A and B are shown apart, each in its own frame.
Chain A
């Protein structure tokens, strides 16, 4: 499993993405060096705590960053083309047709004055040449596919008439109506109850099987990620700190943050007297420490951690942003070494010297 990574062409490859926000309080580096790859038809789980930049990464991929935010550098290659260089109208075409997105609270992304059916029909007809009648029929069909009972009647209802779980199903129907290659799901089940979450996860699995689409699943819930993902990227304070396939990340985590996170969550059926903790608090984005962003909380912190660690290869297909990772192997991050890697390599030298 682990060895297939890299050999396979990536559907989406994000290299050293940086998205910054100029706020009144100062520059917030919400995303500051994120590299991800999503394989066709596979699911990448992006885990991190609130404020770690996982949602901003998703919005950057969709190029939906608004002022005062700005994508400062990096590249986002989707299906062979760099999304950051695409003109806006081509990007609009990709958004919705090739890449769709669903959000945590579907109510904010559904228009309250139109019926669910109309909204799906609009999404369908915007991206294809269908008559109104065909689009409406397709909308009902989509609602049926996402397991909404009595779809014909539901299509005529407004979003507020539906429960949270139903709304999320409508969102999914809308997102999938154009058969996208990639679905970005930003905390799709966080607002839902456990039993409803189980329904939605099951639905996403079934649709993934059938449509063969890739999913970028953004969540803070390590359970949901374990349940759904083939690959996992862990984010902390705007950076990816560890990436590998799911089994490796859960069985042999390398980065101290990942280790700490996995050790600190209470697990069912494994009651312990005390939970392990990650000490300290998530750093203030306006006041980030120099060097490794995790060093203040890290049980392994050492003098070298005052320099920012690069993403380093731990094993085949397994990278970790930690000085504890074995030196030598250059992380595989696309074809050419990026600026960040060059910088990292330089840093390695300067650190080695004194």
Chain B
């Protein structure tokens, strides 16, 4: 089902991987994230000088993205997926961790408890080069376009900032980009407010593409769009990826959308990556109880398939005060089934390989079986019987 995507040979701006630069990094790794932490401090006291607490938005996430693939990142609100994207893009400063993009270290900040060393940041010049190679598409097509700038200025801003000062050359590029994203080239002088949501999102995509990046962070790119428009934009993103050999980090909460676009999928819960696998594996055979529940909770657009589902108890805990041990233990159905083992509340599980490239951060991932899931469904309270 998953097609292997063409290697990234079409993108002019992506240099060949410099051998030896990244050491252990596999040659086809474009982005590597190591133990990334982002805490938002809650400050109080006079002039906000004292630290009262911290929202642990991202709390030790590691993964890598291969050149040419689309990595999906799913999770519910407060799981830190959007923050993760912004920290990788250096739109937010990281608390600690290391991010390396195409051989260039963006930052490397030691974590608390690690031996002390100087944090490393890419220089402004180096960062500017990286930005050319790493772009972003935002969720809200209304807020992400400056209302005072024309389409031409919006899409041409990147090239201008990176030294394409010739107006004619820039306009030609903008027209090319508009054509690529399916917008009418004659609309170059129009303003964002004249367009519908879907068209605005195309403008946002054109703006990201204008720098010929190899890597694009798509932060919920379709969730603000109407249902009938979402598929247009999803197809466009797919086409562009095939055409230009793009690499995506695709952040979304809609599991069906993520399944559609991704080669691999990571599931986040309260600032942690709890499962990571190839798209087909994770949807067919989830190996973390949270993933199982998440997949089970999605209502399917088919009245014949009204299913009984696992209903998780309670709310998502606050990321300012996450549960001890496994963060999911307060709502975990598997823990209940196993008779509430002590380990879940005391020991924090790490993401571990389960064979076939699937990784799960559950102490008892091996216990997940169709029978276990079925019995969890059965114990999930009263459900209305499905219609024939």
Contact = CB atoms under 8 A, between A and B. Distances in A.
Assess A/B contact in the complex (Cβ within 8 A): yes
B66 interface: no
B315 A198 contact: no
A246 to B, nearest CB: 4
Given A266-B256, A268-B256, A195 B297 contact: yes
Nearest to A194: B297
Interface in A259-289: 260-262, 264-269, 271-279, 281-282
A261 B298 contact: no
B255 to A, nearest CB: 6
A222 B301 contact: yes
Contacts of B305: 226
A281 B229 contact: yes
A301 interface: no
Nearest to B382: A206
Contact of B316 (A193, A198, A225, A276): A193
Most A CB contacts (10 A, CB to CB) among B1, B253, B260 go to B260
Contact of B231 (A49, A221, A269, A276): A276
B198 A281 contact: yes
A197 B260 contact: no
Nearest to A267: B256
A64 to B, nearest CB: 25
Given A198-B311, A246-B303, A268 B298 contact: yes
A150 to B, nearest CB: 11
Contacts of B306: 226-227
A261 B228 contact: yes
A227 to B, nearest CB: 4
B76 A224 contact: no
Interface in A228-285: 228-230, 246-247, 250-251, 257, 260-262, 264-269, 271-279, 281-282
A230 B335 CA distance: 36
A165 B76 CA distance: 13
Nearest to B302: A226
B367 interface: no
Given A202-B311, A220-B226, A261-B227, A194 B303 contact: no
Interface in A188-231: 193-199, 201-202, 205-206, 208-209, 220-230
B77 to A, nearest CB: 6
A223 B228 contact: no
A220 B231 contact: no
A264 B196 contact: no
Contacts, number: 159
Given A49-B227, A268-B298, A194 B315 contact: no
Contacts of B300: 223, 226-227, 267-268
Contact of A264 (B76, B228, B293): B228
A23 interface: no
Contacts of A197: 297, 299
B238 A250 contact: no
Contacts of A227: 299-300, 303, 306
A234 B304 CA distance: 19
B223 to A, nearest CB: 11
Contacts of A262: 301
B259 A193 contact: no
A50 interface: yes
Given A194-B297, A226-B300, A275 B260 contact: yes
B387 interface: yes
B142 interface: no
Nearest to A223: B299
Contacts of A278: 228, 231-232
Interface in A46-65: 49-50
A265 B196 contact: no
Nearest to A245: B303
A193 B279 CA distance: 21
Contacts of A229: 303
B293 to A, nearest CB: 6
A44 to B, nearest CB: 13
A166 interface: yes
A272 B261 CA distance: 10
Given A193-B316, A282-B196, A268 B3 contact: no
Contacts of A257: 228
A197 B309 CA distance: 12
Given A264-B231, A281-B229, A271 B1 contact: yes
A195 B312 contact: yes
A166 B254 CA distance: 22
Nearest to A264: B231
A163 interface: yes
Contacts of B360: none
B257 A266 contact: yes
B191 interface: no
26 contacts: A165-B315, A166-B315, A193-B76, A194-B253, A194-B294, A195-B297, A195-B312, A202-B309, A202-B381, A205-B383, A208-B384, A220-B227, A246-B303, A250-B301, A260-B228, A264-B227, A266-B254, A268-B259, A268-B283, A271-B1, A271-B259, A271-B280, A272-B260, A274-B238, A275-B234, A282-B196
Give the 6 A-B residue pairs with the shortest CB-CB distance, closest first.
A223-B299, A193-B76, A198-B297, A264-B231, A266-B260, A227-B299
Given A226-B303, A282-B229, 6 more contacts: A165-B315, A199-B311, A228-B299, A264-B231, A268-B298, A279-B232
Interface of B: 1-3, 76-77, 196, 198-199, 226-232, 234-235, 238, 253-257, 259-260, 279-280, 283-284, 293-306, 309, 311-312, 314-316, 331, 380-384, 387
